[in-house]
Amino acid sequence: MMKNNRRSFLKTIGLGSGTLLINPLDGFGAIDLQNEIKRRKDDDVYAYRKITTDFLVAGGGMAGLCAALAAARNGSKVVLIQNRSRLGGNASSEIRMHISGASQLKQVWRETGILEELMLTEAVINQQKSYEMLDYVFYDKVVSNPNITLLFDTMLYEVHTNGRQVKSIKAYCSQTEEIYDISAKYFADCTGDGTLAALAGAEFMRGRESKKAFGETLGLDKPDDITMGNSLLFMAEEHDKPMPFEAPSWARKYTFKDFQYRKIHSFEYGYWWIELGGLENIVHDGQKIRHDLMAVIFGIWDYIKNSGNHPKSANWALSWFGAIPGKRESRRITGDYIMTQRDIQAPKILEDRVAYGGWPLDDHLPAGMDDTSLDPFRSIPLKGPYSIPLRALYSKSFDNLVMAGRNISTTHVALSSTRVMATCSTMGQAIGTAVSFCLQHALHPAALVKDKAKLQAYQQLLLRQDQSMLGVKNTDPLDLALQAGTKASSETADGKAAQVIDGINRDIQDGSTHQWRAEMSANGAWIELSWNAPQSIGTIELTFDTGLHRFLRISGQKSVLKNQIRGPQTETVSDYLLEGFAGNNPVFEQKIENNYQRKTVHTVEPFKADRLRITVLKTHGDPLAKIFEIRCYQ
Amino acid sequence: MLLWTPHLYAQSGLQESFKEYKSEKLFLFEANDSIQVKIELLKNNQNQPQLYRAYLSTGVCSDGLCKPVNIQIYWDLLGDFYEYQTAKDEGLTKFDHMPFTAHDHLTLHTILADTSSLLRDYYVEDLIDPQVKLQSKTIDGVTGATNTTFQETTVPGALYTVYTLWHFVNGPIRHRLLHHTISMLSDALIKQLLASGNEKYQRFMIAHLNEAQAEQFQPILMELVGHSKDDYVPHFALDKLPQATWQHPTKYNLLLAFLPEVSFPVQTAILTKLTNTVVDSKGRSLLEHFLQQGPHADVQQRLIKAILTKQQSSNEIRTN
């Protein structure tokens, strides 16, 4: 009886209720249980939770993770639903794909912003290179933000719309028997598969377009429904004694000639070309594809261990294999702009650019491991990064539906470049920030693109939060530093002090370093901003060098980690002193130690000063003190 | 029989032996800009097809800074670029009419032989860096410089020439030439390609053999199992051998005799093929001899023992 009363109570106050899983030993009598079973109806079994929020993000992969963080940091209330128990999606410990992006250009274009913050953190605290600790870094960032409600193991299954508005979604948690009915002002489809958009009835694309459809030389003569395949990875470890392996009966059989285009270079982490499913329905046939991939993994490991062709594998044994396959391609939600081959190969500066990509046009043959007589991919390098416009990141069908990840508005050909996770992360930051900005200015993303002044203000906000956009420089009217004079203890020929306020906070391959550089003396090196009149300063923001020309991403593969720095990046300033002066009087002082981030923000009790000095006391090994940018705000 | 070494480019024109080749007119092919070129087939003095040839004369420079291209192009029998030859007084030139150096010719050869060059997937305009202009000393004009990322995909100062040539050499004509080769596949040509010593030809030909042809050319296939220098050709040849091979002692013993000479993966492949065979006494002694030469990896020991055991058990059956 007590329990029934409680249920009625919950129903009355509208929190929803549900039949809890009842253990007869818990103290409820057998009669209570019988009554419970009799009364059980579908909607009673599950606990029903009604939630209202600003921003619902569906999908906790790299795109959704960055979207949620960006929106929450800009003041929005966010519910992040993730249908797995871990964040990171294809990057997480469940799949372990590389977080790839514009570093592949081998120029200077590693992504910045939230992703860079995550990768720098991970490189420092996870020097043991544990994938579960990568999950933890993502988890920590999300749960530490009070604006985010994180719901794990939660899969959306229903979407309610009204005209051009998405109103609410329903989702189910497999672990708690809860149904969430979530209403929000904005919705982000970061599902990868475009599930939310498809359920809403938004326009989407799938398969491979014809050459004619978008004027793409890499298109097909005739369009089809085919996608790139899914991959399942494995990891292995070397032991100090022979480790025999016996394959299951369902493992596929491989021989020497299956590997003419698929090289087994090492055993510790394998291999992106364990790929299947492009010729099947990549979503709905997923159960079969997953098992087929298991049969491939175990078949390949059988080949490695038992063919005699890899005698060095004798002491190696499997230590892990993927829980679910990593998907490359499924639905693509149509936006106001559809990115095509030309946008990737011959990019133009788009006015509404909010992110950039730089992965090659990297299309995989759909047959994958079903046909080992063919080269598994065709990769066309790019000359440089390209812009991603906001118009490709919101649905043309709904005013309040945005998207980031592989399911954005691109052709199949363009997707072969935009699909990689570092690129998806920057899209996530772009839409999360856009949603917060739109909420604050009562605009929709489509209207934001049309309002040039607002669009610029939004891009300036992104830039201030360290998102890079090609050709966008700091013109923030509130940044006091831009009006300051600069002076330094010393400067190198290519690192003038004035470059900390040149508006550009990274190497953009234009011949300038865009940073102040000074030889570190025994007392370090200092740089000073000065104003003609005292300024009220409440926020000081610094951008340091983190070696954006290098790769920085966890990998199970030794060769991928080879030229990375797992730990603080050498170029970065570790210890520094902030000092404010009014005339010759010190009015402010703060010392920071053990920094390893690229962007640091110091919000302090406002002080009035006409000089701000930053003294670099220690770097992480670089003989030069290096600062890209200094910003000051009231 | 090694007729030539592919991808070995003679810098000063074609190898001497080519001069004795007879040319045979084949068809007209419409190349870039609606220019028709005559395609010829070159045969050696034994009347064996060797190369395809076309003479191309076309202007390539949209900015008027280069001279026209005047060039003879050779393809192999699969339609892959083989070699080019320029007329003596009309050599290839770069920006400002500078003649190609020997190094430039080598670079061009490498580029034309690369069927997956970036030139395939970019428009020529996209390969230019609009920021950098080259000023001509000889005529009043400028041209764009090649984007730094793409410098390795062209001969500096000759982007339009290289681009035009690549697309002619590697364009639809490749397919056309390959199909012509397929249309003239006679027993003699099949044999010629299989025995060419050219692994590309061998792979192509093995893949194209039907069952009857596999039977007919079995001796050459067996030879390829034992003596191909390529890693993969022996495997393709093994797979193409008729099933009956594994029941004919004279045939499988020939393959068993190759065991000591061939690579480890080929050894394993031969042994795997024999696992359903009851080998005769000669085969048995070849296997035993091979086993004694050891040490062998577990997989091979298992395979050999399985074959030898099969022999024993069937003997037992016969004696009962």
Each residue's pLDDT tens digit, A303-352: 999 999 999 999 999 999 998 999 999 999 999 999 999 999 999 999 99
Determine contact, residues B193/B212, Cβ cutoff 8 Å. Answer: no
- DSSP SS3 for A616: strand
Determine contact, residues B164/B58, Cβ cutoff 8 Å. Answer: yes
Which of B114, B126, B240 to substitute to test the interface with A, most A CBs within 10 Å? B126
Instruction: Give the per-residue pLDDT at A460.
Output: 98
Q: Higher model confidence: residue A175 or residue A33?
A: A175
The answer to whether residue A435 scores a pLDDT higher than 60 is yes
Query: Shortest CB distance from B269 goes to which of A255, A345, A384?
Result: A255
Q: Which ipTM was obtained for this model?
A: 0.84
Question: Once rounded to an integer, what is the mean pLDDT over residues A222-229?
Answer: 95
Q: pLDDT for A385-434, tens place per residue?
A: 999 999 999 999 999 999 999 999 999 999 999 999 999 999 999 999 99
Query: Within a 10 A sphere around the Cβ of A1, how many other Cβ atoms?
Result: 10
Contact B299 A308 (CB under 8 A): yes
Report the chain A residue with the minimal C-alpha distance to residue B131: A510
The answer to whether residue A21 scores a pLDDT higher than 50 is no
pLDDT band at A9 (very low <50, low <70, confident <90, very high): very low
Question: Once rounded to an integer, what is the mean pLDDT over residues A181-202?
Answer: 98
Instruction: Give the per-residue pLDDT at A291.
Output: 96
Nearest to A407 by CA among A226, A220, A197, A213: A197
Minimum mean pLDDT range among A111-125, A528-542, B29-43: B29-43
Distance of CA A496 to the CA centre of its chain: 34
pLDDT band at A377 (very low <50, low <70, confident <90, very high): confident
Determine contact, residues B299/B268, Cβ cutoff 8 Å. Answer: yes
Distance to chain A for B268, nearest Cα, Å: 8
DSSP string covering A518-549: EE-BTTBEEEEEEEEEEEEEEEEEEEE---TT
Interface of B with A in 235-274 (CB under 8 A): 235-236, 239, 264-265, 268-269, 272
Q: pLDDT for A495-504, tens place per residue?
A: 999 999 999 9
Instruction: Give the per-residue pLDDT at A584.
Output: 94
Give CA–CA dist B52/B82, Å, rounded.
9
- For chain A, the average pLDDT equals 93
Provide residues of A within 8 Å CB-CB of chain B.
217-218, 255-257, 260, 306-309, 311, 345-346, 361, 378, 380-384
Nearest to B55 by CA among B84, B88, B89, B24: B84
Q: Higher model confidence: residue A132 or residue B35?
A: A132
B170 touches chain A (CB under 8 A): no
- DSSP SS3 for B270: helix
Give CA–CA dist A475/A277, Å, rounded.
48
Q: Which residue has the tokens 């360290």?
A: A466
Q: What is the mean pLDDT of each run of 10 residues along chain B (320 residues)?
A: 32 58 90 79 94 84 62 94 82 78 91 92 84 58 65 83 91 95 96 95 96 96 95 96 93 95 95 92 93 85 90 51
Instruction: Give the per-residue pLDDT at B126.
Output: 87
Instruction: Give the per-residue pLDDT at B68.
Output: 72
Q: pLDDT for A35-51, tens place per residue?
A: 666 666 555 788 999 99
Q: pLDDT for A612-631, tens place per residue?
A: 999 999 999 999 999 999 99
Distance to chain B for A614, nearest Cα, Å: 37
